[in-house]
Structure 1
Amino acid sequence: MPRFGNAAIAAVTVASLCSGAWLLRSGAETHAPPQPSAAEARVDPRAQRSAAPALPPSPPDRIRIPSIRVDAPLTGLGLTATGSLDVPPAARKNLAGWYEAGTTPGEIGTAIVAGHVDNADGPAVFYGLGALKKGAAVEIDRRDGGVAVFTVDAVEVYDARAFPDAKVYGASARPELRVITCGGGYSRSTGYQGNVVVFAHLTGSR
Protein backbone atom coordinates (compact mmCIF):
# COMPACT_ATOMS: atom_id res chain seq x y z
CA MET A 1 0.00 0.00 0.00
CA PRO A 2 1.35 3.46 -0.86
CA ARG A 3 1.96 5.76 2.11
CA PHE A 4 0.82 9.37 2.19
CA GLY A 5 1.68 10.74 5.63
CA ASN A 6 -0.90 11.88 8.14
CA ALA A 7 -2.33 15.04 6.57
CA ALA A 8 -5.64 13.36 5.71
CA ILE A 9 -6.52 12.40 9.28
CA ALA A 10 -9.31 14.53 10.73
CA ALA A 11 -9.53 15.76 14.32
CA VAL A 12 -12.21 13.17 15.07
CA THR A 13 -9.61 10.43 14.64
CA VAL A 14 -10.44 8.37 17.70
CA ALA A 15 -14.04 9.38 18.36
CA SER A 16 -15.20 5.82 17.84
CA LEU A 17 -12.77 4.61 20.52
CA CYS A 18 -14.53 6.68 23.14
CA SER A 19 -18.02 5.43 23.98
CA GLY A 20 -17.18 4.33 27.53
CA ALA A 21 -19.75 1.51 27.42
CA TRP A 22 -18.09 -0.24 30.35
CA LEU A 23 -18.28 2.85 32.53
CA LEU A 24 -21.96 3.18 31.74
CA ARG A 25 -22.49 -0.33 33.07
CA SER A 26 -20.17 -0.22 36.08
CA GLY A 27 -20.04 3.43 37.19
CA ALA A 28 -17.52 6.10 36.23
CA GLU A 29 -16.42 7.08 39.72
CA THR A 30 -14.69 3.79 40.51
CA HIS A 31 -13.41 2.63 37.17
CA ALA A 32 -12.35 5.69 35.16
CA PRO A 33 -8.93 5.13 33.55
CA PRO A 34 -5.88 7.07 34.81
CA GLN A 35 -5.19 10.49 33.32
CA PRO A 36 -1.75 12.07 32.76
CA SER A 37 -0.53 14.70 35.19
CA ALA A 38 0.59 18.16 34.10
CA ALA A 39 4.19 17.16 34.83
CA GLU A 40 4.10 14.48 32.13
CA ALA A 41 3.09 17.04 29.50
CA ARG A 42 6.32 19.04 29.72
CA VAL A 43 8.93 17.86 27.21
CA ASP A 44 12.52 17.71 28.45
CA PRO A 45 14.59 19.78 25.95
CA ARG A 46 17.34 17.17 26.15
CA ALA A 47 14.99 14.64 24.55
CA GLN A 48 15.01 16.70 21.36
CA ARG A 49 18.71 15.93 20.86
CA SER A 50 18.87 12.18 21.55
CA ALA A 51 17.44 10.35 18.58
CA ALA A 52 18.59 7.07 17.03
CA PRO A 53 19.20 6.69 13.29
CA ALA A 54 16.06 6.08 11.28
CA LEU A 55 15.14 2.57 10.16
CA PRO A 56 13.96 1.55 6.70
CA PRO A 57 10.18 1.23 6.25
CA SER A 58 8.65 -1.96 7.62
CA PRO A 59 5.09 -2.61 8.81
CA PRO A 60 4.72 -3.16 12.58
CA ASP A 61 3.28 -6.35 14.05
CA ARG A 62 3.22 -5.75 17.81
CA ILE A 63 3.47 -3.04 20.46
CA ARG A 64 4.86 -3.49 23.96
CA ILE A 65 4.86 -0.94 26.78
CA PRO A 66 6.34 -2.87 29.71
CA SER A 67 5.72 -0.23 32.40
CA ILE A 68 1.93 -0.44 31.91
CA ARG A 69 1.86 -4.11 30.91
CA VAL A 70 0.85 -3.63 27.29
CA ASP A 71 1.76 -6.46 24.92
CA ALA A 72 -0.58 -6.42 21.94
CA PRO A 73 -0.72 -7.27 18.25
CA LEU A 74 -1.18 -4.47 15.73
CA THR A 75 -3.59 -4.38 12.81
CA GLY A 76 -3.55 -1.94 9.91
CA LEU A 77 -6.07 0.91 9.98
CA GLY A 78 -7.37 3.10 7.19
CA LEU A 79 -9.69 6.12 7.13
CA THR A 80 -13.46 6.10 7.37
CA ALA A 81 -15.69 7.87 4.85
CA THR A 82 -15.68 10.96 7.10
CA GLY A 83 -11.88 11.17 7.21
CA SER A 84 -11.39 9.82 10.71
CA LEU A 85 -9.03 6.98 11.51
CA ASP A 86 -10.78 3.64 11.61
CA VAL A 87 -10.38 1.65 14.82
CA PRO A 88 -9.77 -1.97 15.80
CA PRO A 89 -12.85 -4.11 16.51
CA ALA A 90 -14.07 -3.20 19.99
CA ALA A 91 -14.63 -6.85 20.89
CA ARG A 92 -10.90 -7.55 20.55
CA LYS A 93 -9.81 -5.58 23.60
CA ASN A 94 -6.11 -6.48 23.37
CA LEU A 95 -5.74 -5.36 19.75
CA ALA A 96 -4.26 -2.00 18.73
CA GLY A 97 -3.98 -0.51 15.26
CA TRP A 98 -1.60 1.62 13.23
CA TYR A 99 -2.30 4.03 10.36
CA GLU A 100 -0.95 1.97 7.49
CA ALA A 101 -1.14 4.73 4.86
CA GLY A 102 1.25 6.81 6.96
CA THR A 103 4.72 6.41 8.41
CA THR A 104 5.84 3.00 9.65
CA PRO A 105 7.25 3.06 13.20
CA GLY A 106 11.00 3.63 13.06
CA GLU A 107 11.30 5.48 9.77
CA ILE A 108 11.54 9.27 9.54
CA GLY A 109 8.18 10.86 10.23
CA THR A 110 5.33 10.49 12.67
CA ALA A 111 3.84 7.01 13.06
CA ILE A 112 0.34 6.70 14.54
CA VAL A 113 -0.94 3.90 16.81
CA ALA A 114 -4.44 3.91 18.34
CA GLY A 115 -6.45 1.56 20.53
CA HIS A 116 -9.48 1.35 22.79
CA VAL A 117 -9.33 2.38 26.43
CA ASP A 118 -12.19 0.03 27.29
CA ASN A 119 -15.10 -1.88 25.82
CA ALA A 120 -18.41 -3.11 27.18
CA ASP A 121 -16.65 -5.85 29.17
CA GLY A 122 -13.93 -3.82 30.88
CA PRO A 123 -10.47 -2.29 30.34
CA ALA A 124 -8.96 -2.61 26.86
CA VAL A 125 -5.43 -2.42 25.48
CA PHE A 126 -4.66 1.23 26.34
CA TYR A 127 -6.62 1.55 29.59
CA GLY A 128 -3.40 2.43 31.46
CA LEU A 129 -1.97 4.82 28.85
CA GLY A 130 -2.67 7.89 30.98
CA ALA A 131 -0.43 6.48 33.73
CA LEU A 132 2.61 6.30 31.43
CA LYS A 133 5.62 8.39 32.50
CA LYS A 134 8.23 10.32 30.56
CA GLY A 135 11.26 8.17 29.86
CA ALA A 136 9.26 4.94 29.57
CA ALA A 137 10.03 2.58 26.71
CA VAL A 138 7.66 1.67 23.88
CA GLU A 139 8.79 -1.26 21.73
CA ILE A 140 7.46 -2.03 18.26
CA ASP A 141 8.09 -5.41 16.67
CA ARG A 142 8.53 -4.93 12.93
CA ARG A 143 7.81 -7.33 10.12
CA ASP A 144 11.45 -7.20 9.02
CA GLY A 145 12.38 -8.97 12.28
CA GLY A 146 13.69 -5.90 14.05
CA VAL A 147 12.42 -4.02 17.09
CA ALA A 148 12.11 -0.23 17.14
CA VAL A 149 12.57 1.19 20.63
CA PHE A 150 10.97 4.55 21.43
CA THR A 151 11.29 6.71 24.55
CA VAL A 152 8.31 8.67 25.84
CA ASP A 153 8.80 12.46 25.73
CA ALA A 154 5.40 13.53 27.05
CA VAL A 155 1.90 12.29 27.81
CA GLU A 156 -0.92 14.78 27.29
CA VAL A 157 -4.70 14.85 27.42
CA TYR A 158 -6.78 17.03 25.08
CA ASP A 159 -10.43 17.96 24.91
CA ALA A 160 -11.87 16.65 21.66
CA ARG A 161 -13.05 20.16 20.74
CA ALA A 162 -9.49 21.50 20.87
CA PHE A 163 -7.49 18.56 19.53
CA PRO A 164 -4.14 19.87 18.15
CA ASP A 165 -4.02 18.11 14.78
CA ALA A 166 -0.71 19.61 13.63
CA LYS A 167 1.07 18.84 16.91
CA VAL A 168 -0.11 15.24 17.02
CA TYR A 169 -0.09 14.25 13.35
CA GLY A 170 2.35 16.72 11.83
CA ALA A 171 5.50 15.74 9.97
CA SER A 172 8.77 15.21 11.83
CA ALA A 173 12.38 15.27 10.69
CA ARG A 174 13.18 12.29 12.93
CA PRO A 175 11.38 9.00 13.72
CA GLU A 176 8.53 9.70 16.13
CA LEU A 177 5.54 7.81 17.47
CA ARG A 178 2.12 8.82 18.75
CA VAL A 179 0.00 6.41 20.78
CA ILE A 180 -3.62 7.55 21.17
CA THR A 181 -6.65 6.47 23.18
CA CYS A 182 -9.64 8.09 24.88
CA GLY A 183 -9.47 10.16 28.02
CA GLY A 184 -10.28 13.46 29.62
CA GLY A 185 -13.69 14.11 31.13
CA TYR A 186 -16.44 11.53 30.90
CA SER A 187 -20.14 12.04 30.24
CA ARG A 188 -22.68 9.26 30.66
CA SER A 189 -24.54 10.62 27.63
CA THR A 190 -21.64 11.01 25.18
CA GLY A 191 -18.72 9.01 26.62
CA TYR A 192 -15.16 10.30 26.94
CA GLN A 193 -14.67 13.96 26.12
CA GLY A 194 -11.08 13.84 24.82
CA ASN A 195 -7.96 11.86 24.08
CA VAL A 196 -4.77 10.81 25.80
CA VAL A 197 -1.75 11.13 23.48
CA VAL A 198 1.73 9.74 24.07
CA PHE A 199 4.60 11.50 22.28
CA ALA A 200 7.73 9.39 21.79
CA HIS A 201 10.82 9.30 19.57
CA LEU A 202 13.14 6.54 18.37
CA THR A 203 16.09 5.96 20.69
CA GLY A 204 17.28 2.50 19.63
CA SER A 205 16.67 -0.69 17.72
CA ARG A 206 17.64 -4.31 17.85
Structure 2
Amino acid sequence: MLVELVKSNGFEASSAASGIEMDRLLTRHQFDLIVLDAMLPGEDGFSICRRLRSSRAIPILMLTALREDIDRILGLELGADDYVTKPFNSRELMARIKSILRRASHSQAMDEGLAPMTFAGWRIDPKSRQLQDPDGAQVSMTTAEFDLLLAFCFNPNKILTREQLLSMTHAGSAGPVERSIDAHISRVRQKIEPNLKDPTFIKTVRLGGYLFASKVERLP
Protein backbone atom coordinates (compact mmCIF):
# COMPACT_ATOMS: atom_id res chain seq x y z
CA MET A 1 0.00 0.00 0.00
CA LEU A 2 2.79 2.43 0.90
CA VAL A 3 4.75 1.61 -2.25
CA GLU A 4 1.70 2.33 -4.40
CA LEU A 5 1.06 5.57 -2.49
CA VAL A 6 4.61 6.78 -3.04
CA LYS A 7 4.61 5.78 -6.70
CA SER A 8 1.29 7.54 -7.29
CA ASN A 9 3.01 10.75 -6.12
CA GLY A 10 5.71 10.50 -8.77
CA PHE A 11 8.48 8.72 -6.87
CA GLU A 12 10.17 5.38 -7.40
CA ALA A 13 9.86 2.99 -4.46
CA SER A 14 10.83 -0.50 -3.31
CA SER A 15 9.67 -2.45 -0.27
CA ALA A 16 11.41 -4.78 2.16
CA ALA A 17 9.69 -6.97 4.74
CA SER A 18 12.70 -7.20 7.04
CA GLY A 19 16.09 -5.73 7.83
CA ILE A 20 17.77 -8.50 5.84
CA GLU A 21 15.76 -7.67 2.71
CA MET A 22 16.50 -3.97 3.23
CA ASP A 23 20.26 -4.68 3.38
CA ARG A 24 20.07 -6.53 0.06
CA LEU A 25 18.27 -3.62 -1.60
CA LEU A 26 20.76 -1.08 -0.24
CA THR A 27 23.65 -2.99 -1.79
CA ARG A 28 21.99 -2.95 -5.23
CA HIS A 29 20.35 0.48 -5.43
CA GLN A 30 20.84 4.10 -4.39
CA PHE A 31 17.99 5.52 -2.28
CA ASP A 32 17.17 9.07 -1.17
CA LEU A 33 14.99 8.14 1.82
CA ILE A 34 13.99 5.18 3.97
CA VAL A 35 10.51 4.89 5.51
CA LEU A 36 11.21 2.55 8.40
CA ASP A 37 8.50 0.71 10.34
CA ALA A 38 9.35 0.31 14.01
CA MET A 39 7.51 -3.01 14.31
CA LEU A 40 9.24 -5.56 12.09
CA PRO A 41 9.83 -9.33 12.33
CA GLY A 42 13.29 -10.16 13.60
CA GLU A 43 15.36 -6.98 13.92
CA ASP A 44 13.03 -4.12 14.90
CA GLY A 45 13.01 -0.67 13.34
CA PHE A 46 14.82 1.00 16.23
CA SER A 47 17.72 -1.42 15.96
CA ILE A 48 17.82 -0.99 12.18
CA CYS A 49 17.80 2.79 12.57
CA ARG A 50 20.75 2.63 14.97
CA ARG A 51 22.65 0.32 12.62
CA LEU A 52 21.99 2.50 9.56
CA ARG A 53 23.19 5.59 11.39
CA SER A 54 26.54 3.97 12.15
CA SER A 55 27.42 3.92 8.45
CA ARG A 56 24.94 5.98 6.39
CA ALA A 57 23.55 9.53 6.29
CA ILE A 58 20.42 8.65 4.29
CA PRO A 59 17.28 10.37 5.68
CA ILE A 60 15.02 8.09 7.75
CA LEU A 61 11.30 8.55 8.43
CA MET A 62 10.13 6.31 11.27
CA LEU A 63 6.66 4.81 11.00
CA THR A 64 5.32 3.59 14.32
CA ALA A 65 2.12 2.59 16.11
CA LEU A 66 3.72 3.49 19.43
CA ARG A 67 2.19 6.64 20.85
CA GLU A 68 4.26 7.24 23.96
CA ASP A 69 6.51 10.31 23.72
CA ILE A 70 9.48 8.26 24.94
CA ASP A 71 9.17 5.93 21.93
CA ARG A 72 8.98 8.83 19.51
CA ILE A 73 11.98 10.55 21.08
CA LEU A 74 13.90 7.27 21.05
CA GLY A 75 13.55 7.13 17.28
CA LEU A 76 14.91 10.66 16.93
CA GLU A 77 17.76 9.98 19.34
CA LEU A 78 18.72 6.93 17.30
CA GLY A 79 19.01 9.12 14.22
CA ALA A 80 15.59 9.28 12.54
CA ASP A 81 14.90 12.59 10.79
CA ASP A 82 11.16 12.49 11.43
CA TYR A 83 8.36 10.15 12.49
CA VAL A 84 4.69 9.46 11.77
CA THR A 85 2.40 7.45 14.03
CA LYS A 86 -0.15 4.91 12.81
CA PRO A 87 -2.92 5.18 11.88
CA PHE A 88 -1.82 8.04 9.65
CA ASN A 89 -3.28 10.17 6.90
CA SER A 90 -1.72 9.35 3.54
CA ARG A 91 -1.47 13.05 2.67
CA GLU A 92 0.37 13.74 5.90
CA LEU A 93 2.82 10.92 5.25
CA MET A 94 3.56 12.22 1.75
CA ALA A 95 3.94 15.75 3.11
CA ARG A 96 6.54 14.50 5.61
CA ILE A 97 8.39 12.54 2.90
CA LYS A 98 8.48 15.55 0.55
CA SER A 99 9.56 17.84 3.40
CA ILE A 100 12.53 15.62 4.29
CA LEU A 101 13.62 15.28 0.65
CA ARG A 102 13.19 19.01 0.07
CA ARG A 103 15.17 19.85 3.20
CA ALA A 104 18.02 17.54 2.21
CA SER A 105 18.14 18.97 -1.31
CA HIS A 106 17.86 22.58 -0.11
CA SER A 107 20.58 22.14 2.51
CA GLN A 108 22.98 20.73 -0.06
CA ALA A 109 22.24 23.50 -2.58
CA MET A 110 22.59 26.28 0.02
CA ASP A 111 25.92 24.92 1.24
CA GLU A 112 27.57 24.66 -2.19
CA GLY A 113 29.33 28.04 -2.08
CA LEU A 114 30.32 28.04 1.60
CA ALA A 115 33.91 27.63 2.72
CA PRO A 116 34.95 24.98 5.26
CA MET A 117 35.22 25.96 8.93
CA THR A 118 37.23 24.68 11.89
CA PHE A 119 36.65 24.60 15.64
CA ALA A 120 39.00 23.05 18.21
CA GLY A 121 40.66 20.91 15.54
CA TRP A 122 37.37 19.78 13.99
CA ARG A 123 36.66 20.55 10.33
CA ILE A 124 33.18 21.02 8.90
CA ASP A 125 32.71 21.41 5.16
CA PRO A 126 29.29 22.74 4.08
CA LYS A 127 29.90 21.97 0.40
CA SER A 128 30.70 18.27 0.82
CA ARG A 129 28.60 18.12 4.03
CA GLN A 130 31.38 16.26 5.81
CA LEU A 131 32.64 16.52 9.37
CA GLN A 132 36.16 15.45 10.34
CA ASP A 133 37.44 14.99 13.88
CA PRO A 134 40.83 16.37 15.01
CA ASP A 135 42.50 13.15 13.83
CA GLY A 136 41.10 13.60 10.32
CA ALA A 137 38.55 10.78 10.57
CA GLN A 138 35.19 11.38 8.91
CA VAL A 139 32.18 11.43 11.25
CA SER A 140 28.84 10.26 9.84
CA MET A 141 25.93 12.66 10.42
CA THR A 142 22.29 12.86 9.41
CA THR A 143 20.96 15.87 7.51
CA ALA A 144 19.33 17.24 10.66
CA GLU A 145 22.47 16.73 12.76
CA PHE A 146 24.75 18.37 10.19
CA ASP A 147 22.38 21.33 9.78
CA LEU A 148 22.28 21.85 13.55
CA LEU A 149 26.06 21.81 13.89
CA LEU A 150 26.36 24.14 10.91
CA ALA A 151 23.88 26.56 12.51
CA PHE A 152 25.99 26.57 15.67
CA CYS A 153 29.19 27.19 13.68
CA PHE A 154 27.58 30.18 11.97
CA ASN A 155 26.53 31.53 15.38
CA PRO A 156 29.33 30.72 17.86
CA ASN A 157 29.01 31.96 21.44
CA LYS A 158 25.42 33.09 20.86
CA ILE A 159 22.39 31.78 22.71
CA LEU A 160 20.02 30.16 20.22
CA THR A 161 16.50 29.23 21.29
CA ARG A 162 14.92 25.97 20.21
CA GLU A 163 12.56 27.91 17.96
CA GLN A 164 15.51 29.66 16.28
CA LEU A 165 17.29 26.36 15.74
CA LEU A 166 14.11 24.89 14.28
CA SER A 167 13.76 27.76 11.81
CA MET A 168 17.44 27.48 10.81
CA THR A 169 17.43 23.74 10.27
CA HIS A 170 13.82 22.50 9.97
CA ALA A 171 14.90 19.75 12.37
CA GLY A 172 12.20 18.18 14.47
CA SER A 173 9.24 18.89 12.22
CA ALA A 174 7.35 16.10 13.96
CA GLY A 175 5.83 16.85 17.32
CA PRO A 176 6.95 19.12 20.17
CA VAL A 177 9.73 21.47 19.12
CA GLU A 178 11.61 21.21 22.40
CA ARG A 179 11.76 17.44 22.45
CA SER A 180 12.71 17.10 18.78
CA ILE A 181 15.52 19.67 18.88
CA ASP A 182 16.81 18.21 22.15
CA ALA A 183 16.92 14.72 20.64
CA HIS A 184 18.93 15.83 17.61
CA ILE A 185 21.31 17.88 19.77
CA SER A 186 21.83 14.86 21.99
CA ARG A 187 23.03 12.92 18.95
CA VAL A 188 25.35 15.74 17.83
CA ARG A 189 26.85 15.82 21.32
CA GLN A 190 27.47 12.07 21.19
CA LYS A 191 29.61 12.63 18.11
CA ILE A 192 31.66 15.70 19.08
CA GLU A 193 31.74 16.00 22.87
CA PRO A 194 34.67 14.40 24.75
CA ASN A 195 32.54 14.21 27.91
CA LEU A 196 28.76 13.96 27.59
CA LYS A 197 28.24 14.67 31.29
CA ASP A 198 30.06 17.99 30.95
CA PRO A 199 29.69 19.22 27.33
CA THR A 200 32.53 21.38 26.06
CA PHE A 201 30.99 22.67 22.84
CA ILE A 202 27.18 22.69 23.02
CA LYS A 203 26.12 24.26 26.32
CA THR A 204 22.55 24.17 27.61
CA VAL A 205 21.33 27.60 28.70
CA ARG A 206 18.58 27.30 31.29
CA LEU A 207 15.33 28.88 30.05
CA GLY A 208 17.25 30.09 27.01
CA GLY A 209 18.26 27.33 24.63
CA TYR A 210 21.77 26.35 23.57
CA LEU A 211 25.14 28.03 23.07
CA PHE A 212 28.07 26.82 20.97
CA ALA A 213 31.08 27.63 23.17
CA SER A 214 33.94 27.47 20.70
CA LYS A 215 35.92 29.74 18.43
CA VAL A 216 35.04 29.05 14.80
CA GLU A 217 37.35 30.03 11.93
CA ARG A 218 36.54 30.14 8.22
CA LEU A 219 39.15 28.48 6.03
CA PRO A 220 40.35 30.19 2.83
- The reply to whether TM is greater than 0.5 is no
Higher relative contact order by CA 8 Å / sep ≥ 6: 1 or 2? 1
TM-score per shorter chain, which class?
Answer: under 0.3
Q: Write 1 or 2 for the structure with the bigger share of strand.
A: 1
Q: Write 1 or 2 for the structure with the bigger share of helix.
A: 2
